[in-house]
Amino acid sequence: MSTIGRAAIAAVIWMVGTTTALAQPASPAAPAMLTPPAMPDGGAMPADQDKQPKQPKAGDFDAGGQVRFPSGPDEMGQFATYNWIAADLKARYYLLPTVTVDALAPLAVHKPSMLMNGTDPRLMGGVNLHLEARLPKLPRMPGLKYDTELGLALSLAYMREGALLLSDKDYPLFVGSFHPGVVGGLITKIKLSTLVDFSLTPSFAYQRGSVESLTAIQVPTSLDVRLGSVVQVSADAGVFTGDDISLRGKNGGRVALGGSLTIKIGPIVTHAGAGFASLLTGGIYPTVRDSLYVDLNVKYAK
């Protein structure tokens, strides 16, 4: 073959190879790697950041009131839910994230004008100032998987005689003169899980009386289950003795049992509860049914 022929064949082969290469699609570019957004300090923001509820700080406060519809006697001694209506004015101020001061002013806004035994119920129950100080977080005990919080509680009160011994489940029987009193106790809170808390607050109450001083032991407990950051369901129970630390029903001893629902929307906290103020009978409450209570609580929290 001549030199011209060989050159022509080589040119045809080169043109075919070039056309084939241009006809093939280009390889897709490697996808860019996604990186988490940078934090202001230069670190990376975690992919799944837990939304924790707002923790209180010094200077925060909440205030509101609780309306209660406890069962109590009328002028004829018949128990019913709407014979008494109690309104508890409450406020809380945070001195520190772990130290709070509470103020309570209980009122009997609706009550019988006179009881069968001649007792004259009064509107105002008095004033109670309550200080709570939680201790630094304790190290977890060996062999236990639960976190425990401890604290001290102290109340200074100036209330109607015997009013300091009533729980917030009882009807507001405020009688007699005002007398000073004090309540001291221990705050115990056990975190059973990230959503479940158990609290126990045993305390000793003392109030001066017109004839003799009054003494009692009060042990309220609660089991709280948080359903997210908005809803909380609680089971409440409590043991409250009468004067002279007597648990007998005829001497004023009570064993309370109930439940409640709390909903927090923004700064507004709404609470509703119901139950029995006492499972013991023969004293303040003739029957368990006579101790039925309902309470509603709305407060502003900042």
Report the pLDDT value the prediction gives residue 135, as an integer from 0 to 100. 87
- Structural domain includes residue 133: yes
The tens digit of pLDDT for each residue in 163-195 reads 999 999 999 999 999 999 999 999 999 988 889
- Structural domain includes residue 285: yes
- Structural domain includes residue 294: yes
Q: Tally helices (H) and strands (E) across the chain.
A: 1, 15
Report the pLDDT value the prediction gives residue 193, as an integer from 0 to 100. 85
CATH code: domain of residue 225: 2.40.160.40
- Structural domain includes residue 18: no
DSSP summary character for residue 287: S
Report the pLDDT value the prediction gives residue 144, as an integer from 0 to 100. 61
Highest mean pLDDT among 43-52, 212-221, 279-288: 212-221
pTM over 0.85: no
Report the pLDDT value the prediction gives residue 147, as an integer from 0 to 100. 82
Over residues 51-70, mean pLDDT: 82
Report the percent of the chain where pLDDT is more than 90: 64
- Structural domain includes residue 36: no
Count up the domains in the chain and report the number: 1
pLDDT band at 271 (very low <50, low <70, confident <90, very high): very high
Domain span including residue 159:
61-301
Q: What average pLDDT does the chain have?
A: 84
- Structural domain includes residue 1: no
Report the pLDDT value the prediction gives residue 137, as an integer from 0 to 100. 74
Distance CA 22, CA 26 (A): 9
Report the pLDDT value the prediction gives residue 56, as an integer from 0 to 100. 80
Report the pLDDT value the prediction gives residue 49, as an integer from 0 to 100. 46
- Are the beta carbons of 207 and 161 closer than 8 angstroms? yes
Report the pLDDT value the prediction gives residue 232, as an integer from 0 to 100. 95
Q: Is the pLDDT of residue 14 over 80?
A: no
Cα angle for residues 87, 246, 158 (degrees, 5° grid): 40
Q: Is the pLDDT of residue 51 over 70?
A: no
